[in-house]
């Protein structure tokens, strides 16, 4: 018990150090004169951090929690999205896609929950969609054209066709995962389509370049939806079955 308490104190101190470096010398519990009172009353101030580093802010909030038992271990800290490299992000997307296909775990209620912003995170109503608008209006036209053209060809050849729901985060993750898995093939198809249907479109050339590798595909989608994976992580992290089956990296 004492060993656990010592470790939790170390985690608290480490969280304060993270905050100090990111905010150029600020402390999460304020100036020295009020610091002890704020720690005891559990009144941290993250206004210096939440707008510019929301992912790190989430981690530090956990690390300086008043409840010692709820503070993460070092292993849990290193698994936090703030420390994810591109390989971990790709693994997370792949695991999500597997999860979404498992109807025993991913039911309609969770599907709906996944699409909406939590009230405490936004100050919005519980009916506020995370995406704000359909994701085919967020992703560049040349990629959406590829999806619709592929669907048309599959229908013409009497092949099974998956129809994306552009309001669904689940289907957005499926799209990202498929783009990662087949980026070279998609790059070639779009390149040929671009030559025949678009002229002197530098933006399309940049998108074609973004399909060069798994990492560049992730970078492209992050440029459109910077906190998408973090949003999903927060939604699912407290579901034990999901963590056990799908989120062990």
Q: Over 115-181, what HEC string results? A: CECCHHHHCCCCCCECCCCCHHHCCCHHHHHHHHHHHHHHHHCCCCCCCCCCCCHHHHHHHHHHHHH
Q: Which two tokens stand for residue 147?
A: 């999806």
Q: Each residue of 115-159: pLDDT tens digit?
A: 887 655 544 445 678 888 999 999 998 899 888 888 887 777 777
Last residue of a domain, one of 83, 106, 138: 83
Same domain, 79 and 91: no
CA angle 219, 146, 110 (to 5 degrees): 65
Q: Looking at the structure, do residues 78 and 118 belong to the same domain, yes or no?
A: no
pTM of the model: 0.82
| Res 199: pLDDT | 56
Any idea what DSSP says for residue 227?
Answer: T
Domain identity same for 76 and 103: no
The structural domain count of the chain equals: 2
Co-location of 241 and 201 in the same domain: yes
What per-residue confidence (pLDDT) applies to 125? 47
Last residue of a domain, one of 56, 83, 110: 83
pLDDT along the chain (249 residues), means of 10: 68 94 89 89 86 89 92 91 94 87 72 72 61 92 87 78 89 94 90 66 80 94 93 80 56
Structural domain range at position 49: 2-83
* Average pLDDT of the residues of the chain: 83
72 plus 130 within the same structural domain: no
Boundary-marking domain end, from 33, 66, 83 = 83
Alpha-carbon gap, residue 236 to 249, rounded angstroms: 15
* CA distance linking residue 130 with residue 168, whole number of Å: 10
133 in the same domain as 21? no
């Amino acid at each position: 018990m004492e060993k656990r308490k010592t470790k939790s104190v170390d985690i608290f101190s480490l969280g304060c150090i993270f905050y100090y470096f990111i905010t150029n010398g600020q402390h999460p519990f304020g100036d020295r004169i009020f610091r002890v009172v704020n720690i005891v009353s559990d009144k941290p101030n993250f206004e210096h951090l939440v707008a510019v580093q929301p992912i790190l802010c989430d981690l530090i909030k956990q690390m300086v929690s008043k409840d010692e038992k709820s503070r993460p271990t070092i292993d849990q800290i290193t698994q936090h999205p703030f420390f994810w490299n591109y390989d971990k992000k790709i693994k997370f997307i792949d695991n999500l896609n597997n999860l979404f296909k498992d109807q025993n775990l991913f039911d309609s209620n969770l599907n709906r929950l996944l699409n909406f912003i939590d009230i405490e995170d936004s100050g919005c109503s519980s009916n506020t969609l995370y995406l704000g608008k359909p994701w085919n209006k967020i992703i560049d036209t040349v990629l959406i054209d590829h999806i619709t053209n592929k669907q048309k060809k599959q229908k013409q050849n009497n092949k099974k066709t998956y129809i994306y729901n552009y309001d669904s985060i689940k289907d957005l993750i499926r799209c990202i995962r498929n783009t990662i898995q087949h980026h070279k093939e998609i790059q070639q198809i779009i390149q040929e389509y671009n030559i025949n249907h678009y002229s002197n479109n530098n933006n399309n050339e940049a998108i074609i370049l973004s399909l060069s590798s798994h990492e560049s595909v992730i970078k492209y989608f992050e440029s459109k939806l910077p906190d998408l994976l973090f949003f999903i992580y927060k939604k699912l992290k407290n579901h034990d079955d999901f963590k056990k089956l799908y989120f062990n990296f």
